[in-house]
Chain A
Amino acid sequence: MRYSIFNLVRQGLRGHRGWGPAWRDATPKNCYDIIVIGGGGHGLATAYYLAKVHGVANVAVLEKGWIGSGNAGRNTTIIRSNYLLPGNGPFYEWSMKLWEGLEQELNYNAMVSQRGVLNLCHSDAQRDAFVRRGNAMSLYGADAELLDTAALRRMLPVLDYDNARFPIHGGLLQRRGGTARHDAVVWGYARAASNLGVDIVQNCEVTHFIREAGRIVGVETTRGPIRASRIGMAVAGNSSRVAKLAGLTLPIETHVLQAFVSEAVKPLIPGVVTFGAGHFYVSQSDKGGLVFGGDLDGYNSYAQRGNLPTVEDVCEGAMALMPSLGRVRVLRSWGGVMDMSMDGSPIIDRTPVHGLYLNGGWCYGGFKATPASGWCFAHLLARDESHGVARAYRLDRFATGHLIDEKGTGAQPNLQ
């Protein structure tokens, strides 16, 4: 059923008893053209674009738990394309363009809200770097605006402009950036892919790869063997574990990243704000809660929960920027497990094993990349060649020295 105001009124008059499930919970077939492992945003977007753009609808998405149960539901929902390097800029800008048309494309309300993403700078050198990044963004077709403190004071009176240690000198604003509802992105892609014939298979964990004549031709799962000529992994957080089933060791460490939400307060922060003298970023949800996060805990972890020193560190960042938050209570905190690639940038590439493709290493920034990641991974799986905007995300770049060290935020930035 197409979602529209007409259908909403019609169903409303019938007591909302006519809505069907948004997508089909499929039983796996024996054989597909392409299997995508991982039913998060990236996996479902890949399946959708395979069916929509490349006409390959005989696709299965295999999910160990339920769709969206991993990092797709554990992020801080920020979308932006404020990148500097040539390997990143066009990719994230393509993602931003897909976000802008996503709801019409999927016929699903993903609550995409272009409320602006603002990076604050606290020194002259940092402002120079922001000018350079803003100019680079303009060259990629993204929007960038340098704000002075007078403009910031009008936009964000809540910030501490008298902080002697971290004075606010200005900010780089991307007005097209903002937030989206992460669960709705998963459900929207699932519904649209399912409508095009993609099988979404839940509670189906891949346990082995089936090899024949030196290539991978299928997977053994907890719901039986499933064959396909091409198999894509979109299991960021667990890429190393799934790749190990194929005998691969990846340039990735898995780390826990915590996020937080406060009790609801009155409208305080119009968009997304990042503190440039530490690692702290915050936005305000439509319900009023402040959604914020910071650095990794800093040690290998698959635990999906972190420790208190990082909570303290993130809250100190909040207090340095907005001392008025001192009496706001944190409502919840949670952790997601990140594929931390060694240069802080993702990988969308073939693997050395024939028939197996990798989409992973999303580090801090997987959510905003969801549409372009799906778009480019679908391109790779359907045509066996990298998409133009994802060409730099090679698996072998660590061996060849073509690193993409946008911010140098890999697994252990101090060692790289």
Chain B
Amino acid sequence: MRIECPFCGERDASEFVYRGDAAIKRPDPSASEAAENFFAAVYLRENPAGPHDELWYHAFGCRMWLRVRRNTLTHEILAVNYPGPVAGS
């Protein structure tokens, strides 16, 4: 499996660290239902068989976080993006 890093080009997956489902957002700790929200964020996963948005960290490269869309049935990389707005833009 190779991932096309926007900074470094196509690199072997062994350069990256997997961080899991990119849809998970840290809940608001001051919300009244914070406990339920944190439980869902920490433990519950959609775990789809097919396209999956996930975070990969290019640990042995540019050390940028990447948002990768990958097919979990075939390991095909469908898209690679920055996880959020790029600093300074």
Within 8 Å CB of B44, what residues of A? 249-251
User: Which residues of A sit under 8 angstroms from B63, Cβ to Cβ?
Assistant: none
Among B12, B18, B70, point to the contact of A298 (Cβ < 8 A). B18
Indicate if the CB atoms of B12 and A250 lie closer than 8 Å: no
In the complex, which residue of chain A has the Cβ closest to the Cβ of B45? A253
Q: Is B89 an interface residue (CB 8 A)?
A: no
Chain A residue nearest to B2 (CB atoms) is A307
Chain B nearest CB from A174 CB (Å) reads 32
| CA gap between A411 and B14 in the complex, in Å | 18
Chain B residues closer than 8 Å to A300, beta-carbon distance: 20-21, 47, 52, 54, 72
List, in ascending order, chain A residues with CB within 8 A of B49's CB.
238, 241, 254, 302
Q: Is B39 in the interface zone, CB < 8 Å from A?
A: yes
Pick the contact of B1: A241, A307, A342 (CB < 8 A): A307
A240:B45 contact, CB within 8 angstroms = yes
Contact with A along B46-89 (1 / 0, CB 8 A): 11110010100000000000000010111100000000000000
Q: Is A253 within 8 A of B1, CB to CB? A: no
Complex Cα distance, B24 from A412, in Å, reads: 14
Bound CA–CA A250/B12 (angstroms): 31
Residue-wise interface mask of B (5-37) relative to A, using a CB-CB cutoff of 8 A (1 in contact, 0 not):
000000011100011110000000000000010
Given A309-B14, A398-B39, A303-B72 contact (CB < 8 Å): yes
Q: For the complex, what is the distance from the CA of A249 to the CA of B19, rounded to whole Å?
A: 19
Smallest Cβ-Cβ distance to A415: which chain B residue? B20
Is the CB–CB distance between A302 and B39 below 8 Å? no
- Interface residue A299 (Cβ < 8 Å from any Cβ of B): yes
- Contact, CB under 8 Å: A250 / B20: no
- Residue A69 at the chain B interface, CB threshold 8 Å: no
Query: CB distance A307 to B75 under 8 Å?
Result: yes
CA distance A298 to B56 in the complex (A): 11
Q: Which of B13, B47, B70, B75 contacts A253 (CB 8 A)?
A: B47
User: In the complex, A253→B54 CA distance in Å?
Assistant: 12
CA distance A249 to B42 in the complex (A): 13
Residue of A nearest to B68 (CB): A299
Question: CA of A2 to CA of B72 in the docked complex: distance in angstroms?
Answer: 45
Closest A residue to B49 by CB, please name it. A302
**CA A309 – CA B49 in complex, angstroms?**
22
In contact, A399 and B45 (Cβ under 8 angstroms): no
- A398-B20 in contact (CB<8A): no
**A342 and B47 contact, CB distance less than 8 A:** no
Cβ contact within 8 Å between A309 and B12: yes
Query: Given the complex of chains A and B, what is the CA–CA distance between A240 and B12 in angstroms?
Result: 29
Contact residues in A for B36 (Cβ distance below 8 Å):
399
- Cβ contact of B47, chosen from A254, A303, A398, cutoff 8 A: A254
Contact with B along A173-214 (1 / 0, CB 8 A): 000000000000000000000000000000000000000000
Other than the given A301-B75, A302-B73, 18 more pairs (CB < 8 A) read A249-B45, A250-B45, A250-B47, A251-B43, A251-B44, A252-B45, A252-B47, A299-B18, A300-B52, A301-B72, A302-B49, A302-B72, A303-B75, A342-B43, A398-B42, A399-B39, A411-B45, A415-B20
- 24 A-B pairs within 8 Å (CB atoms) are namely A238-B49, A240-B46, A240-B47, A240-B48, A241-B49, A249-B44, A250-B44, A250-B47, A251-B44, A251-B45, A252-B45, A252-B47, A254-B47, A299-B18, A300-B52, A302-B72, A303-B72, A303-B75, A342-B42, A398-B42, A398-B43, A399-B36, A415-B19, A415-B20
